[in-house]
């Protein structure tokens, strides 16, 4: 049997726009995702988050499910456009009240609330003013963080500033696959910086909070030992992992990344003191891992998410894929965790997302196998000295999977969107068992 230390934290994760619905209720105004979904051709099937899993009205039932599974923690995100509908200025108490009710309901069940302040729902007026490529957005984010922190600091201990700034910056402003759907490579680099700056300023605005940031990191391997393939892997590692890890944990952008980006930007948007702000001490690093990357020299479909490294091609590793098309490789998670401990030692790590999209309604054997393999990789990492403190499955519920709409299902709990009926999948029962036994 593979067991984890008694304090190991077992959780599940969701995000506001993906589950809440109630898009126009209690004073919430549009975010960039409402606008994006309303733009024809952006989201499969024309799906939107207007109703989603209706969690805004069903949160009590959903917390009940969490209790049934024995979750120690629940990672969710707070919708900025509920709390500050215009992105600045007036605070909407009804929006804050929803999160107070949710947090209280979690605490009644002894489930630790793990809020994330930003999981991609930027208030539309801030995008109208230029969005993340503008420095002012970082200042607005810190103001919003202070508001939420003040409202919930008495009941929340662990705070996450951002979820996956890579997606916000590079899918939002380079490929345009995510909201706001812009295709401006140089803006994406500015967006990445202002997201990081927002993270640092938010920490300063939340005195005495235990804080972290969640990054979507991966293990990158070159196709061959040929110099140009090895260089391709270095570049992708730079643009996926180190461009966020180094500023946060080493107070500097990686020199090779700065050089690769020289044709795109001179980094003149970086002001004196920014890196010091960004490198404010954090208490944990959240790691979202789904799939590894095998890369080589070549060309990608343009526009690439890897700004400045367009001559890189992703290769097929020959492994099984989930329904969303991502290759399954738990070894990649182990390699990633070992690498983080080697290159960025001592920072406590949490897997804040890991999971798989499959179609099976309830008897989701493939998802059980995916989760089992990845939880085993976590155990192996811990046994090899990685300071991994917890694991959150993505996702508690089937939900709005961004540009794929409702077609891709990541939940361990099935949602029938016609009736909003929740049904535990086999993976949820398997997970409850893992939690109860403290291992596999
Ligand atoms: C993450 N990509 O998103 C998010 O944090 C979740 O909201 C999401 O549901 C989950 O992973 C599954 O997709 C990603 O294209 C979306 O590389 C897209 C990518 C990566 C992560």
What is this model's ipTM? 0.95
User: Facing residues of 414 across strands?
Assistant: 423
Q: Read off the tokens for 399.
A: 């939900």
**Is 66 in contact with 155 (CB distance < 8 Å)?**
no
132 within 8 A of 183, measured Cβ to Cβ: no
Displacement of CA 52 from its chain's centroid (Å): 18
pLDDT on residue 227: 98
- DSSP class of residue 328? P
Cut 0.95: pTM above it: yes
* Ligand 1 centroid to residue 263 C-alpha, Å: 28
> Is residue 164 within 6 Å of ligand 1 at its C-beta?
yes
pLDDT category, 51, cuts 50, 70, 90? very high
Is residue 301 pLDDT above 80, yes or no?
no
Pocket flag, ligand 1, residue 240 (CB < 6 Å): no
Residue of 331, 314, 316, 317 whose CA lies nearest to 370: 331
Q: Does residue 216 have its Cβ closer than 6 Å to ligand 1? A: yes
CA neighbours within 13 Å on the CB side: how many for 270?
18
**What sign does the CA torsion over 428, 433, 436, 440 have?**
negative
Q: Are 169 and 182 in contact (CB under 8 A)?
A: no
| Residue 302: band (very low, low, confident or very high) from pLDDT cuts 50, 70, 90 | confident
Please indicate whether residue 353, judged by its CB atom, sits closer than 6 Å to ligand 1. yes
Predicted confidence (pLDDT) at residue 132 exceeds the cutoff of 90: yes
SS3 91: coil
Instruction: With both helix axes pointing from N to C terminus, report the angle between 243-250 and 185-204 in degrees, rounded to the nearest 10.
Output: 30
300: pLDDT strictly greater than 90: no
C-beta of residue 278 within 8 angstroms of C-beta of residue 200:
yes
Q: Is the CB of 160 under 6 A from ligand 1?
A: no
Tell the residue nearest (CA) to atom 19 of ligand 1: 167
**Residues recognised as catalytic:** 353
- State the average pLDDT for the chain: 98
In what helix (H) or strand (E) does residue 249 lie, and over which residues does it extend?
helix 243-250
Residue 112 has a pLDDT of: 98
Look-up of token digits 């200042």: 139
Residue 65 — left, alpha, or beta (φ > 0 → left; ψ -120 to 50 → alpha)? alpha
Ligand 1 mutation target, pool 17, 36, 164, most atoms within 8 A of CB? 164
For the CA of 394, the closest atom of ligand 1 is 10
User: What is the band of 197 on the pLDDT scale with cuts at 50, 70, 90?
Assistant: very high
- 275-295 in b/e form (b: 16+ CB < 10 A) is bebbbbebebbbbbbbbbbbb
pLDDT at position 230, please? 98
- What angle do the packed helices 93-108 and 135-152 form, to 10 degrees? 50
Q: How far is the CA of 165 from the centre of ligand 1 (A)?
A: 11
| 160-188: average pLDDT | 98
Is 242's pLDDT higher than 90?
yes
Q: Pick the residue whose CA is nearest to atom 7 on ligand 1.
A: 15
pLDDT at 299: 85
pLDDT score recorded for residue 139: 98
Distance of CA 83 to the CA centre of its chain: 20
Query: What's the pLDDT tens digit per position in 365-421?
Result: 999 999 999 999 999 999 999 999 999 999 999 999 999 999 999 999 999 999 999
Residue range 429-438: mean pLDDT, rounded: 98
Under the banding of pLDDT at 50, 70 and 90, the label for residue 335 is: very high
**End-to-end Cα separation, the chain, in angstroms:** 6
Q: Is 229 in the pocket of ligand 1 (CB under 6 A)?
A: no
Q: What is the pLDDT of residue 1?
A: 79
Closest atom, ligand 1, to C-alpha of 15: 7
pLDDT tens profile 76-123: 999 999 999 999 999 999 999 999 999 999 999 999 999 999 999 999
Lowest-pLDDT range, 12-26, 94-108, 127-141, 294-308? 294-308
């Amino acid at each position: 049997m593979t067991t984890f230390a008694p304090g190991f934290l077992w959780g599940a994760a969701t995000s506001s726009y993906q589950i809440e619905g109630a898009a126009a209720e209690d004073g919430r105004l549009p975010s960039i995702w409402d606008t994006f979904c309303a733009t024809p051709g952006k989201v499969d099937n024309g799906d939107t988050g207007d109703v989603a899993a209706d969690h805004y009205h069903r949160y009590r039932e959903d917390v009940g499910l969490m209790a049934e599974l024995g979750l120690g923690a629940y990672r969710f995100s707070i919708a900025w456009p509920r709390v500050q509908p215009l992105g600045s200025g007036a605070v909407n108490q009804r929006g804050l009240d929803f999160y107070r009710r949710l947090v209280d309901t979690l605490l009644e069940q002894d489930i630790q609330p793990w809020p994330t302040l930003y999981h991609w729902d930027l208030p539309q007026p801030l995008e109208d003013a230029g969005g993340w490529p503008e420095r002012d957005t970082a200042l607005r984010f810190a103001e919003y963080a202070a508001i939420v922190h003040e409202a919930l600091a008495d009941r929340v201990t662990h705070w996450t500033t951002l979820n996956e700034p890579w997606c916000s910056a590079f899918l939002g402003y380079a490929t345009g696959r995510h909201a706001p759907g812009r295709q401006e490579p140089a803006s994406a680099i500015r967006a990445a910086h202002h997201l990081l700056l927002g993270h640092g300023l938010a920490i300063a605005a939340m005195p005495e909070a235990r804080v972290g940031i969640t990054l979507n990191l991966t293990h990158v391997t070159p196709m061959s030992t040929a110099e140009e393939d090895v260089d391709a892997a270095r570049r992708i590692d730079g643009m996926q992992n180190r461009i966020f890890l180094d500023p946060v944990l080493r107070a500097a952008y990686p020199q090779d990344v700065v050089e690769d980006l020289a044709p795109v930007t001179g980094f003149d948007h970086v002001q004196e003191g920014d890196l010091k702000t960004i490198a404010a001490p954090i208490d944990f690093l959240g790691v979202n891992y789904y799939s590894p990357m095998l890369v080589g020299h070549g060309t990608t479909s343009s526009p690439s998410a890897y700004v400045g490294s367009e001559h890189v091609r992703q290769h097929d590793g020959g492994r099984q894929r989930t329904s969303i098309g991502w290759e399954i490789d738990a070894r990649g998670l182990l390699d990633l965790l070992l690498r983080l401990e080697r290159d960025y030692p001592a920072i406590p790590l949490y897997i804040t997302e890991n999971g798989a999209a499959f179609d099976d309604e309830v008897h989701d054997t493939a998802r059980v196998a995916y989760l089992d393999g990845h939880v085993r990789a976590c155990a192996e990492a811990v046994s090899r000295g990685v300071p991994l403190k917890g694991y959150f499955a993505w996702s508690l519920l089937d939900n709005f999977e961004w540009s794929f709409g409702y077609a891709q299902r990541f939940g361990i709990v099935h949602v029938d969107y016609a009736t909003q009926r929740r049904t535990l999948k086999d993976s949820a029962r398997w997970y409850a068992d893992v939690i109860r036994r403290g291992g596999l």
